Structure 1
Amino acid sequence: MNEGLIRREAVSDQLFALLRDRILGGELPAGAALTAERGLAAEFGVNRHAVREAVKRLQQARLVEVSHGGRTLVLDWRHTAGLDLAMGIAAADAGPTVEDLARDALEMRACIGADAARLCTIRCSEDTAGEIVEAAGRYARTGPDLTELADADVAWWRLIVEGSGNVAYLLAFNSLVGGTLPVADVPDDLRAAELLDVEAHQRLAAHIAAREAEAAERLARELLSRSVPATPRKAVR
């Protein structure tokens, strides 16, 4: 039995994390049947309520599904899981590392930020455009402390993403800055080239205010891409 693997507090959370890591690490491959509720309860020395709660969370994370025959089958997380699973992927023993996932998230950030800048240029109100220009001015007066610049940068980009009018981009932005993705753990010195380029921030704000969509998109992508590590990344299989 694996009773020692489960601590008594929050047993359903711990069982969820353990099963999640086995799925992400490949110990429980896609298409495999999860051990029945009774068997999991006996294996880990927990009650069946904790097992039901853990399996429910696996379903919500799109890691398993209950088949018509009543069996719980493991899904291929590469095809079914969402961004909320990102930190779980990094925590698993196998698969992408935190560094790999941070690089992936920074690449996504550059893509989303570039298009958000384009859409903001097209869609935002004159008042919002003015706020973005004013925020760029405040940004120029911030620092050179990188932590302070990083905080000001988040506030400035929030105006741009909100100005894009794209709710999906806004939710992704919240995940990027709120810790769902490990970008928040990237050292500020890695992002120094981006954060210290005050002039580029001001030019981007000016492009948005002047309704120069292509120029805004191009500059936003160039600026945000500076924080993406140059190390090559293997494709996820």
Structure 2
Amino acid sequence: MALGALRPSPLVEQAAQHLRDQITGGHWPVGTRLPAETSLAKTLGVGRSTVREALRALAGAGLVQSRQGAGVFVIATTPAEDWPARLRRAAITDVYEVRVLIEVEAAQLAARRRTDEDLAVIGAALDRRGEAAAGDTAGFVDADIALHAAVVAAAHNPVLTDLFTEFAPTLREALIDLVDLLDLRSGAPDHGAAGHAALVDAIATADAGTAGEVLRDELLGTLAQLRSV
């Protein structure tokens, strides 16, 4: 199969896809050393920097590996499943158990590390959650997740923030379904308002123990409901 010159933009994605097709299609079996960057760039009609980024993407997918002084070699013909894809396939209860681990620690750190600016953001997010109670389920869930994201951000740990960001889309879909399925908002449109207010108060007063306890109780309660579905 000929590689063929590429259309402009987005060049890196196109280059990566063309090279991926060559590998997954068997043109370059496992163990094959890929052509040099200059050769690939000429064949694809792009610059070497574009080829380099495309190869980095393939390495991230577990398809190729760079060997110092030897070149880039094919190490697999099937891409490794990425983290977002694995989350989409995971049981929501499994995801929620990890959410408990991440967010409880984040809440405790937030109580110790929060700044005045963090408190302003968290307070505004709590207000928006209350306002969203008058709207539809999707909007309410979005406001709820935004509040939790603000708490995680106040922990000032970029790894925790990134982990929560990866979980958020999966959580959103599951929570929308859960709220509607269990009709959680029929009696109280602002479901969980007291617990969330207590969480924000604990963070504001730098009470890490209470912040962790309040959030743990809330998340474990939701997890129990998930398991009952």
Q: TM-score, normalised by structure 1?
A: 0.60
Q: Could you tell me how far 1:149 is from its partner in structure 2?
A: 1.2
Q: Which runs of 5+ in 1 are unaligned?
A: 42-46, 91-95, 232-237
Q: Could you tell me how far 1:103 is from its partner in structure 2?
A: 5.4
What count of residue pairs does the alignment treat as equivalent? 199
Q: Which runs of 5+ in 2 are unaligned?
A: 8-12
Counterpart in 2 of 1:197?
192
| Alignment map for 1:137-216 (pairs within 5 Å) | 137-143=127-133, 145-177=136-168, 182-186=170-174, 188-190=176-178, 196-216=191-211
* Structure index of larger Rg: 2
User: Are 1:117 and 1:216, in contact at CA under 8 Å, matched by a contact in 2?
Assistant: yes
Segments ≥4 residues shifted beyond 6 Å: none
Counterpart in 1 of 2:59?
59
| Cα offsets for 1:132-189 (capped at 9, x unmatched) | 3454344234325221212211332232122212222223333344x5xx44443512
| Alignment map for 1:5-154 (pairs within 5 Å) | 11-15=14-18, 32-34=30-32, 36-37=34-35, 47=43, 52=51, 54-61=54-61, 63-68=63-68, 69-70=70-71, 72-74=73-75, 85-87=82-84, 90=85, 96=86, 98-100=88-90, 104-126=94-116, 128-129=118-119, 132-133=122-123, 135-143=125-133, 145-154=136-145
* Counterpart among 217, 223, 227 of residue 218 in structure 2: 223
Report the RMSD for the aligned CA atoms in angstroms.
4.5
User: Are 1:113 and 1:161, in contact at CA under 8 Å, matched by a contact in 2?
Assistant: yes
* C-alpha distance in structure 2 between counterparts of 1:157 and 1:97, whole Å: 19
User: Are 2:34 and 2:71, in contact at CA under 8 Å, matched by a contact in 1?
Assistant: no
Moved more, 183-192 or 160-169: 183-192
Q: What letter corresponds to residue 136 of structure 1 in structure 2?
A: L
Q: What letter corresponds to residue 140 of structure 1 in structure 2?
A: G
Q: TM-score, normalised by structure 2?
A: 0.61
Identity of aligned residues (%): 20
Q: Could you tell me how far 1:120 is from its partner in structure 2?
A: 0.8
* C-alpha distance in structure 2 between counterparts of 1:203 and 1:187, whole Å: 21
* C-alpha distance in structure 2 between counterparts of 1:203 and 1:19, whole Å: 56
* C-alpha distance in structure 2 between counterparts of 1:100 and 1:136, whole Å: 29
SS at match of 1:215: helix
Moved more, 221-230 or 153-162: 221-230
